[in-house]
């Protein structure tokens, strides 16, 4: 005795290459068969492709050393680090300039921040990570969304008293309180 009647399942009905509808039985969730169920065909973005490439070796020694990496991406990360270093040295706290730089080179910096650490030392890693954190706080990135509701730890570089996302949150709450 099965849990459900196979005859009650709908036909898939997806258009095949010949132009006729598929006659296989569909599943209960979306009515499509296993051939036309809409499973993912793989990562499409640069970040996704890099994440998929590192998945099998993430827990092994040297997981941060990417095999077959794009040398152009490595050069971008070093160029971006040198610009960040100059900004940190000049104590430049212009968030729009920082956000523009990080938005342009975010993938390169995320991929190669550990390589920059190996070549330039710990201070270089702290500069890059501080800049990335400041950028993520300003754009209200989902993986740092809790920073809106909690106190932000002061980073040694590129620290702002209040991120743009926090300012927007407070403005919305202030407007909400005065609408009563």
- Between the alpha carbon of residue 96 and those of residues 79, 112, 152, 158, the distances in Å are 18, 23, 19, 12
What pLDDT was estimated at residue 146? 60
Torsion over CA: 43, 48, 50, 53 (sign): negative
- Distance separating alpha carbons of residues 137 and 133, to the nearest angstrom: 6
The more confident residue out of 132 and 168 is: 132
- Distance separating alpha carbons of residues 84 and 116, to the nearest angstrom: 12
* Inter-residue contact 172 to 153 (CB < 8 Å): no
3-state secondary structure at position 96: helix
What pLDDT was estimated at residue 62? 54
- Distance separating alpha carbons of residues 143 and 47, to the nearest angstrom: 14
Domain ranges of the chain: 66-178
Nearest to 70 by CA among 105, 112, 31: 112
The more confident residue out of 160 and 33 is: 33
pLDDT in tens, 35-89: 887 666 677 777 777 667 665 555 555 545 555 567 888 888 889 999 999 988 8
The more confident residue out of 51 and 13 is: 13
Angle of the 122-138 helix axis to the 95-120 helix axis, nearest 10: 150
Provide the residue count of the chain: 180
What pLDDT was estimated at residue 83? 92
What pLDDT was estimated at residue 178? 54
DSSP state of 45: S
What pLDDT was estimated at residue 72? 84
pLDDT in tens, 110-161: 888 888 888 889 999 999 988 888 888 888 777 666 655 566 566 777 766 6
Per the confidence metrics, is the pTM higher than 0.85?
no
- How large is the average pLDDT for residues 18-37? 85
- Distance separating alpha carbons of residues 88 and 95, to the nearest angstrom: 12
What pLDDT was estimated at residue 20? 92
């Amino acid at each position: 005795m099965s849990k459900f009647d196979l005859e009650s399942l709908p036909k898939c009905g997806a258009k095949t290459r010949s132009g006729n509808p598929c006659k296989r039985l569909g599943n209960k969730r979306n009515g499509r068969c296993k051939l036309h169920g809409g499973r993912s065909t793989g990562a499409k973005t640069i970040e996704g492709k890099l994440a998929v490439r590192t998945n099998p070796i993430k827990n092994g020694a040297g997981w941060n050393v990417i095999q077959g990496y794009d040398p152009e991406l490595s050069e971008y990360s070093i160029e971006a680090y040198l610009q960040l270093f100059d900004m940190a040295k000049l104590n430049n706290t212009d968030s729009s300039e920082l956000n523009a730089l990080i938005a342009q080179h975010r993938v390169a910096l995320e991929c190669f921040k550990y390589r920059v650490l190996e070549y330039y030392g710990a201070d270089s890693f702290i500069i890059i990570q501080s800049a990335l954190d400041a950028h993520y706080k300003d754009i209200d990135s989902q993986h740092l969304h809790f920073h809106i509701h909690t106190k932000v730890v002061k980073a040694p570089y590129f620290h702002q008293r209040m991120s743009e996302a926090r300012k927007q949150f407070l403005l919305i709450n202030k407007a909400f309180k005065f609408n009563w």
